[in-house]
Amino acid sequence: MKTMEDLGDVAGLRVLVRSDLNVPIKGDEIGDDGRIRASLPTLLTLAKAGAKVIVTAHLGRPKGTANPEFTLAPVARRLGELLQPEGVTVRFATDVTGESAQEAVQELDEGEVLLLENVRYDPREESKDEAERGALADELAGLADLFVSDGFGVVHRKQASVYDVARKLPHAAGGLVLAEVEVLKKLTESPERPYVVVLGGAKVSDKLAVIDNLLAKADKLLIGGGMVFTFLKAQGHEVGKSLLEEDQLDTVKGYLDAAKAKGVEIVLPTDIVVAPEFKADAPATVVAADAIPADQLGLDIGPESGQAFAAEIAAAKTVFWNGPMGVFEMAAFAGGTKAVAKALTEVDGLSVVGGGDSAAAVRQLGFADDQFGHISTGGGASLEYLEGKELPGLAVLEEE
């Protein structure tokens, strides 16, 4: 995989960068700018080398139409605020490859950054038709001389701005993509042991393939979040009104048997924080994991389980965590996620927060990025890599 150094002198050249700037926005307010900050080193490297930097990115799911709810204008402003101290000007084009984009590219000076409007405004970006994607990729490539892929959160997507454009221009991986791949290789090829994986989030069905693959690699799997209730039910326990995937019970039983056969320990909570309804002010109580009342639903792992999970993490040399332990957005149900996050900050080895909700959770709960070994910018991409899948956006970078 080529690096930016392999592209040679970029001064005066137009470099198209696919970044992942898909951040949570309400109105004009950005809730978590972690992905914007993660994109800065690559953009700065190119700008300081005298390139004319053109950034393409997406926000949300506008489904191929120009919906103002998903404009990247607030992201352009934030990018400008972050790059201004470095003397870098950020411009914004109000379309993807149209008149505004073309004029802005012509006016772009060396060392400046131009952000194009949400690439998913164009239906061809996510088209299953290769010719349609190729046509958009041609237009994007027409704006630039070189392509740098730096949006790790989208490398598992075969999309025009991720995959097809890399086939149209001399290309390289950006610093963020290279850093993510380096960490994921450590997790899959040569993890220092003990290797503990912590999985949470709502649905076990979202994590089936990764559990399958990690049973052959990890020493212990700690299971929390909404997915834990399918595991508890598979063991024969009642789960009340908790989230449950009945259709996955046999699969989960199979995992429990396979783990035992391989000597991998699956650690489940011993206590659960429950409430009668899914509300921030619902009365919360702690019950044993095997005694959840019929009229209650589990919304977090309990304090005893939080301590037990933290002890398992503390004893590990490598930890990968994906998915919150409970409904961390509500204070009464954030304790388990906070316990896991704190434990990860104290790991004597490599601690990896696997993007998505986990990354949002650690920041919302007051932890700083540099307290962890690595915070991934790509939840889905990280999981697919750990599943052993080929990611199209990485595979294409290895083509000449």
CB atoms within 10 A of CB 40: 18
Burial of 72 (0-12, 13-18, 19+ CB in 10 A): buried
Pick the catalytic residue from 151, 225, 380, 393: 380
- Check the annotation: does 400 bind a ligand: no
Report whether 100 contacts 143 (CB < 8 A). Answer: no
Q: According to the annotation, is 58 in a ligand binding site?
A: yes
Known binder of ligand: residue 2? no
DSSP state of 189: T
Task: Specify the pairing of strand 29-30 against strand 25-26.
Answer: antiparallel
Asked if 26 is an active-site residue, the reply is: no
Dihedral angle computed from the Cα positions of residues 170, 175, 178 and 183, in that order, rounded to the nearest 10 degrees:
-170
Q: Is 232 annotated as a binding residue?
A: no
The reply, when asked if residue 329 is annotated as ligand binding, is yes
User: Is there a binding annotation on residue 342?
Assistant: no
Catalytic residue, candidates 37, 91, 186, 203: 203
Q: Is 356 a catalytic residue?
A: yes
User: Is 34 marked active-site?
Assistant: no
- In 217-267, DSSP assigns E strands to 220-223, 265-267
207 labelled as ligand-binding? yes
Has 120 been labeled as part of a binding site? Answer: yes
Residue 156 annotated as lining a ligand binding site: no
Instruction: Say whether 22 counts as a known binding-site residue.
Output: yes
Is 167 a known ligand-binding residue? no
Write down the catalytic residue from 14, 18, 35, 233.
35
In the numeric block, the tokens 């709960």 are attached to 365
Alpha-carbon distances, residue 124 vs 56, 67, 151 (angstroms):
14, 16, 18
> How many residues can be counted in the chain?
400
8 Å CB contact between 392 and 163: yes
Cβ(394)–Cβ(158) under 8 Å? no
Q: Is 60 annotated as a binding residue?
A: yes
DSSP 8-class letter at 206: G
The catalytically annotated residue of 201, 356, 379, 393 is 356
Instruction: Check if 233 is active-site.
Output: no
Q: Establish whether 78 is an annotated binding residue.
A: no
Tell me the residue ranges of DSSP E strands in the chain: 14-18, 25-26, 29-30, 52-56, 90-92, 113-115, 146-149, 171-173, 195-199, 220-223, 265-267, 271-275, 285-288, 297-301, 318-322, 350-353, 374-375
Residues at the annotated binding site? 20-22, 35, 58-61, 120, 157, 207, 298, 329, 355-358
Catalytic residue IDs: 35, 203, 356, 380
Residues at the annotated binding site for (2R)-3-phosphoglycerate? 35, 120, 157
Residues at the annotated binding site for substrate? 20-22, 35, 58-61, 120, 157
Residues at the annotated binding site for ATP? 207, 298, 329, 355-358
